[in-house]
């Protein structure tokens, strides 16, 4: 029996296999007006193809909890009921294929209000439907980004409530998993790292201060998310800045706290909080971070980062380095990766009836 194609149960939810889709922004939503942030036919086709391909769980791309929480004006949102209605079409189809629908809820912080990546990804202003970014401290991401507005404690309270409201809407939209985005230098990750958090109040300084906002978000989400449904948290295990930033030691320590606060799985990535950082990439380069968290915190983890081959994914799960693998670019290249991997490894995966000849 292939370890990659064994089901995994988190709380009352059973995911049919360990081949999962990582959240990847499509920057393809409506940009402004009453349909801003609403999913389009592109999103339906994109996610439907990976479900038909046998993916066990799909985490929808970073979906903003507020208009100013988007990475770009073309990001998906979940701050109103119009957006929810469009998402139900996606979750309904995913479930019909045996795929678990999950959603990553997010706030981009100081990295908000940028153009689509294929248009350069530079910050955009009001003339291009942009806005003033918000952050823990008035520190720009780099020399090309504007100085963000430092959040007041009242604004922090408001954003915590926005995450809770987004979670309620995610449930209404039919999602079975919620993932809080705390990675890649977006708002929650900005609070965690001393590189981007220079606050001197209760939300800065010490480890306890810098993790306070993240834990408040977790508590607010867990309070409204059903007890029988799992909660994920995505983290950058390191800023790749040594002791000047967030470290893997911090991540292990934080993982224990997350588990105590009701998080069921840590989605372990790295980087994104500082520009021009040298990252030693290679096949599975982030897997050791996930493996260490799993071993030292006893929290379930998913591994991500240049996982491209069936045998590679099988080894990660079989060796106990992670409970599941999250595939990104490889699933963009091959929507039916799970079905192909099942053939290679002797596993079983859902195949839609019209695709029976592909088995």
Length of the chain: 359
Instruction: Return d(Cα 61, Cα 25) in angstroms, integer.
Output: 5
DSSP letter for each residue of 187-201? HHHHHH-TTT----S
- Provide mean pLDDT across the span 223-233: 98
Query: Crossing angle of helices 81-96/153-172, nearest 10°?
Result: 40
Q: What pLDDT score does 255 carry?
A: 98
Q: What is the dihedral of CA 248, 250, 253, 257, to 10 degrees?
A: -120
The residues annotated as belonging to the active site are 186
Number of domain units in the chain: 1
On the question of pLDDT at 324 being above 90, the answer is yes
Instruction: Return d(Cα 234, Cα 187) in angstroms, integer.
Output: 12
Q: Domain for residue 4, yes or no?
A: no
- Provide mean pLDDT across the span 23-36: 96
Instruction: Return d(Cα 53, Cα 342) in angstroms, integer.
Output: 11
On the question of pLDDT at 359 being above 80, the answer is no
On the question of pLDDT at 299 being above 90, the answer is yes
Q: CB atoms < 10 A from the CB of 269, how many? A: 25
In 3-state terms the chain splits into helix, strand, coil percentages (rounded to 5) of 40, 15, 45
- Provide mean pLDDT across the span 325-342: 98
Of residues 297, 328, 280, the one with CA closest to residue 22: 328
Kindly report whether the global pTM for this prediction surpasses the value 0.85: yes
Instruction: Return d(Cα 252, Cα 246) in angstroms, integer.
Output: 11
Q: What percent of the chain has pLDDT over 90?
A: 97
Average pLDDT, the chain: 97
For the stretch 142-193, pLDDT in tens is 999 999 999 999 999 999 999 999 999 999 999 999 999 999 999 999 999 9
Q: What pLDDT score does 339 carry?
A: 96
Q: Domain for residue 310, yes or no?
A: yes
Sign of the dihedral defined by the CA atoms of residues 8, 13, 17, 19, in that order: negative
Three-class SS state of 7: coil
| Residue 205 phi, psi (nearest 5) | 80, -100
Q: Domain for residue 1, yes or no?
A: no
For the stretch 334-349, pLDDT in tens is 999 999 999 999 999 9
Q: Domain for residue 199, yes or no?
A: yes
Q: Domain for residue 118, yes or no?
A: yes
Q: Domain for residue 115, yes or no?
A: yes
Residue 229 binned pLDDT confidence (cut-offs 50, 70, 90): very high
Q: What is the dihedral of CA 141, 145, 150, 154, to 10 degrees?
A: -100
Domain that holds residue 321: 16-358
| Residue 54 phi, psi (nearest 5) | 95, 5
Three-class SS state of 135: strand
Residue 1 binned pLDDT confidence (cut-offs 50, 70, 90): confident
Beta bridge partners of 182: 235
Element (H, E) at 256: helix 248-260
Q: CB atoms < 10 A from the CB of 148, how many? A: 24
CATH at residue 36: 3.20.20.70
Q: What pLDDT score does 111 carry?
A: 98
Of residues 291, 75, 108, the one with CA closest to residue 184: 108
87 to 92, 228, 315, 357: CA distances (angstroms) = 9, 22, 34, 31
Q: What pLDDT score does 356 carry?
A: 86
User: Which stretch of 15-24, 90-99, 199-208, 348-357 has the lowest confidence by average pLDDT?
Assistant: 348-357
Q: What pLDDT score does 358 carry?
A: 80
């Amino acid at each position: 029996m292939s370890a990659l194609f064994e089901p995994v149960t988190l709380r009352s939810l059973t995911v049919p296999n360990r081949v999962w889709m990582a959240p990847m922004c499509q920057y393809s939503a409506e940009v402004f007006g009453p349909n801003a942030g609403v999913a389009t036919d592109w999103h339906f086709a994109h996610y439907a193809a990976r479900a038909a391909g046998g993916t066990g769980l799909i985490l929808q791309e970073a979906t903003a909890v507020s208009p100013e929480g988007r990475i770009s004006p073309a990001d998906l949102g979940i701050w109103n009921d119009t957006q929810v209605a469009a998402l139900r079409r996606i979750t309904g189809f995913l479930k019909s294929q045996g795929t678990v629908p999950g959603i990553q809820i997010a706030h981009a912080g100081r990295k908000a209000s940028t153009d689509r990546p294929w248009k350069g990804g530079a910050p955009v202003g009001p003339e291009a439907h942009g806005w003033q970014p918000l952050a823990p401290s008035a520190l720009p991401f780099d020399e090309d980004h504007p100085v963000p507005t430092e959040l007041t404690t009242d604004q922090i309270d408001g954003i915590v409530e926005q995450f809770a409201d987004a979670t309620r809407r995610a449930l209404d939209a039919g999602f079975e998993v919620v993932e809080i985005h705390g990675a890649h230098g977006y708002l929650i990750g900005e609070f965690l790292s001393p590189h981007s958090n220079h606050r001197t109040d209760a939300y800065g300084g010490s480890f306890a201060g810098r993790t306070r906002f993240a834990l408040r978000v977790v508590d607010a989400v867990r309070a409204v998310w059903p007890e029988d449904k799992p909660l994920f948290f995505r983290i950058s295990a390191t800023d790749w800045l040594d002791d000047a930033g967030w470290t893997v030691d911090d991540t292990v320590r934080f993982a224990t706290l997350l588990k105590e606060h009701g998080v069921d799985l840590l989605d372990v990535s790295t980087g994104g909080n500082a520009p021009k950082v040298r990252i030693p990439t290679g096949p599975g380069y982030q897997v050791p971070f996930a493996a260490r968290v799993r071993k030292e915190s006893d929290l379930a983890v998913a591994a991500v980062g240049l996982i491209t081959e069936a045998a590679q994914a099988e080894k990660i799960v079989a060796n106990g380095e992670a409970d599941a693998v999250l595939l990104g670019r490889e699933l963009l290249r091959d929507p039916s990766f799970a079905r192909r991997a099942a053939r290679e490894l002797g596993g079983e995966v859902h195949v839609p009836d019209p695709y029976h000849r592909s088995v």
